[in-house]
Amino acid sequence: MSELNKKVVAITGASSGIGEATARLLAARGARVLLGARRTERLAKVVDEIRAAGGDAHFMSLDVTSLTEMESFVEKAKSHFGGLDVFINNAGIMPLSPLSSRKVEEWDRMIDVNIRGVLYGIAAAQPLMEQQQHGHIINISSIGGLAVSPTAAVYCATKFAVRALSDGLRQESDILRVTVISPGVVTSELADTITDDSAREAMKAFRRVALEPEAIARAVAYAIEQPTDVDVSEIVVRPTASPW
């Protein structure tokens, strides 16, 4: 029997890309999944399809920059399923631009979603997991959290922060398993948020070789499926042909 069987998994940013693929894969392997995102019409469609395939799924509207909503998200997992085994901080945005462009509002939004959203996920999930005496927090970072590239300074800074937060949480808790997953280029909607012309053109070349989001979903499943005394601390997943 899979280690995923009947585990309760809450996923942010689950309306598309990595979050959606992860929800579908985990549900297919027996997990009970709670999907959160702002696009509820998309969440409803994904949940209906998971249920039609025999899976157990629910959803709720979620803004990860609201601590109150993140706490409600965790509470919904507890009320629907009786607890929470895994919390996946997946939501993220990537409006790249050179620092000289001074797109301060976009910087602020990246900080809010990519850093504050992860912190709020930890703040919401950790108390319940400590009460249960078990739990697993998975934070989706990026290869941008390993090295910086032009037009991506702020984005990379947020992803470096995700790795730092993950390792800090791991060191502070002897109850929680903590995993940070750093994808390389993945087919997703992330690049759609880029408003800077130079960054958009650079991203076209960068994304010529890309993984499908299911590759990252499999890495998530691998980390969860390990025995409870095994913490897979970090996974980097890149396309084989990618130079980055």
DSSP SS3 for 33: strand
Task: For 86-96, give one letter per residue: b (16+ CB within 10 A) or e.
Answer: bbbbbbbbbbb
Six-digit token pair at 218? Answer: 């499999």
State the SS3 of 166-185: HHHHHHHCCCCEEEEEEECC
Catalytic residue among 120, 155, 160, 206: 155
Active-site annotation holds for 155? yes
Taking Cα atoms as reference points, which of 94, 93, 92, 101 lies closest to residue 197?
101
DSSP SS3 for 151: coil
Catalytic residues: 155
